[in-house]
Amino acid sequence: MRTAITHKNMARCAATATLACVLGLGLAAPAYADTASNLAAARTKLEQIGTQTQQIYEDLSAQTQALDQTAGEITQKQQEIAEGQAKLSTYVAGEYKTGDLSLLQVLTGVDDLSDMLNRLFYYGKVSDKQAQTIQEVKELKQQLTDKQAEQEKNVAATQKKVDELNAQQAEAQSVVNSLDSQLQAELAAEAEANAALQAGINASTAEKATVSNETAGTTENTNNGGQTSNNNNQGGNTPAPTPAPAPTPQPSTPAPAPTPSAPSQSVDGGSVVSRAYSKLGCAYSWGGIGPNSFDCSGFVSYCLTGRYCRLGTTGTFMGWTRVSDPQPGDVVVNSYHTGIYIGGGQMIHASDYNTGVIISPVAAGMNNNYIFVRY
C-alpha cells in the first residue's frame, strides 16, 4: 500500500510540476501582444493617411475653384475684346463712322487743307489705337492661357496625389482588417487555452484531494491493525488495561471566516452610460481607441470595458445577443456604425470627423436600420 501511495505521490508531483510550467508560460507576455501593437501602429498609420487625404482633397477643391475662376476671367475678357473690336470697327468721330477706313476714303471729299488735316489726324489716331488694342488683346490672351495651363498642371498633380493616397488608404485598411482578424483569432485561442488551463487546475486539485483521503485511510487501517496485534499477544488471562480517560476537549480558536471572492465582472448599464457621457466632445479618428479620440467601435469597446481596447468591429457586435427591450448601456449597431444606447431613443456615438462624439436620436442616423444587442 505504501508503495502504491508513493507512486501516486510521484505522479501527482510530476503533474504539479507540469502545471507549474504551464502557469509559468501563462504569466509570460500574452501571445497577442505583438499583434495588438502592430494593429495599433497600423491604425495610427491609417489615421495619418486619412488626415493627409482630407488635406489634399481641400487643396484639390481650392485649385479647382481657382481654375474655374480663371476660365470665367477668360470668358469675360473675350467678351470685352469682342466689344472693343466692335467699337474700333465703328469710328466715333462724326462722319467717319464707316468702319475700316483707307487713306483714299479719308481724303475723298476734302474741301480745304484744314479739313484734310483733321481727317488725317483722326485716321492716324484710329490706326494707332487699333494696333495698340490688338497687341494688348494678344498679350492678355497669352497671359490667361499660360495661367490656365499652369493651373491645369497643378490640378493634375494634386489629383495624382489624391489617387496615391486613396491607394495607400485602401492598403492600410486591408492591413488593419487583417491584423484585427488575427488579433480576434489569437484572443479566442488564448481564451481556449485559459479554459484548458483551468480544467487542468481543477483536475490537479481533485487528484490532490483523492490522494490525501487515501493516505489518511491507510494510516488509520495501519494503526488499528497494530493495536489488535498487541492485544492478541497478551494472552487470554490477562485483563485488558483500563483505557485512559479521554481528555476533555478544550474550546478551539474559531477558524477565520473565508475571504469572500471578488464578484465576477459584469457590465453595469449605468457605468457604461457614465463612460459614454464622459467622452462627449472627444474627436473622431479612424481606428481610434482613446483616450481622446475614437472611431465608433473603439468608443463602444471603451464604454463597455472601461479600457482603451477593441472588442471587435460592427460585424462582431452584430453577432451578439439581440434584445427587443433595449436598456441604457445596450449597444446600438448596424453593419457599418455603432453607439451606446442611453434611453429615450437617444444614443452616444463617435459620429465623424466633423462632429466627434455626440448625442443623437437613434432613428435619425445611418438609414435607421439599427438593432440593439447586449454585451
Please say whether the beta carbons of 331 and 374 come within 8 A: yes
Tell me how far apart the terminal alpha carbons of the chain are, to the nearest angstrom.
Answer: 54
- Collapsing DSSP states into helix, strand and coil, what is residue 70? helix
Report the pLDDT value the prediction gives residue 372, as an integer from 0 to 100: 96
Task: Annotate 347-368 with b (16+ C-beta within 10 A) or e (fewer).
Answer: bbbbbeeeebbbebebeebbee
Write down how long the chain is: 375
23/17 Cα distance (integer angstroms): 10
| Residue 121 falls in which region: left (phi positive, over 0), alpha (psi -120 to 50) or beta | alpha
Structure letter (DSSP) for residue 284: E
Beta bridge partners of 347: 341, 360
C-alpha cell at 325: 427591450
| Residue 130 falls in which region: left (phi positive, over 0), alpha (psi -120 to 50) or beta | alpha
Q: Give the largest CA-CA distance in the chain.
A: 188
**Which amino acid would we find at residue 258?**
P
User: For each of the chain's 375 residues, which pLDDT tens digit applies?
Assistant: 444 444 444 444 444 444 444 444 443 445 556 777 787 788 788 878 888 887 888 888 888 888 888 888 888 887 877 776 666 555 444 444 444 455 555 556 556 666 666 666 666 666 566 667 777 877 887 888 899 899 899 989 988 888 888 888 888 888 888 887 887 787 777 777 767 777 777 777 777 777 667 666 655 555 554 444 444 444 445 455 555 555 444 444 444 433 333 333 345 678 999 999 999 999 999 999 999 999 999 999 999 999 999 999 999 999 999 999 999 999 999 988 999 999 999 999 999 999 999 999 987 654 568 999 999
